Structure 1
């Protein structure tokens, strides 16, 4: 099931309660493809994605999180890792900022694609990086920066109040 992008933006929310219904690997592949379509400075795409289906690994990842044990219940976790230094080699100090913007765009593409496929997600950043690195046996310059829990929601989340456009907008004519 696909949705209009505006509809996906309006319907996307952070879900913390998942069913055990599996997510097809082909659908996860489409989420990865959505990440690859995100803009990035110089098209460097300074990320690696680790897709975790295995329950024992999801449990271990949940143990490395501060309050997000629910990620173990999601049938898929996508760990987004930064390839440290990749952007800085091309853009110097500004590359440090670009790399996080790039990763944010890739994550948002995955979240919206998941919504389009009728899946729910939660973007988690509160975890112990060293533990996640150890669990996933990350080496070299890879730094885990986000865990995306992906699955089917158990219950529809309550709508969250959003800021009013007047609170965030300054128009210069």
Structure 2
């Protein structure tokens, strides 16, 4: 699939088949995530892969009871390593680490789509509960919980109208 087709056909998938994702495929998704741009090439991001049913249940609760988080065969929690980025960039380190994590999340979702998987980017969760459940150290911020699996749905493309002022060109 070419990139433009992948961008146009990727959807947020929230229903999954009860099939596990092989560990080698999950590893290739992390490799794809690591191709994302990174401030200062620090790769100030971390990945936590979760297939444990109890932990998925806890993370689903932390994500305000979003059912697809518990039902997904695999969750990948992408975290910003704010501490690592701040050593180099000071107060801007937090922003750069979050940007690093976000870029990695998008690369990972596109790689998952290319592999035939469905995924959903989840940003609505209680940071403190996720940090506690995953025993994240100080300076590591959970940014996204990606739910992944073999799709059990095929949603239509949503309308995304442009609003006045969305795009400006200064020539």
Q: Same fold, TM exceeding 0.5?
A: yes
8 Å CA contact 2:9–2:157 kept in 1: the answer is no
* 3-state SS of 2:5 partner: helix
Partner of 1:154: 152
* 3-state SS of 1:20 partner: coil
d(CA) in 2 for partners of 1:95 and 1:142?
Answer: 12
d(CA) in 2 for partners of 1:133 and 1:23?
Answer: 24
Alignment gaps of 5+ in structure 1: none
8 Å CA contact 1:4–1:116 kept in 2: the answer is no
Q: How far 1:138 moved relative to its partner?
A: 2.0
Following TM superposition, where does structure 1 have runs of at least 4 consecutive aligned residues deviating by more than 3 angstroms? 164-167
TM-score using structure 2 length: 0.92
d(CA) in 1 for partners of 2:128 and 2:92?
Answer: 26
Alignment gaps of 5+ in structure 2: none
Task: Give 2:55's match in structure 1, choosing from 39, 54, 57.
Answer: 57
Aligned length: 171
Q: How far 1:62 moved relative to its partner?
A: 0.6
Q: How far 1:172 moved relative to its partner?
A: 2.8
**Within 5 Å, which residues of 2 pair with 1:1-173?**
3-164=1-162, 168-173=166-171
What is the aligned-residue RMSD (CA, Å)? 1.7
d(CA) in 1 for partners of 2:132 and 2:118?
Answer: 27
8 Å CA contact 1:23–1:76 kept in 2: the answer is yes
CA gap 1:123/1:38 in 2 versus in 1, 3 angstroms: same
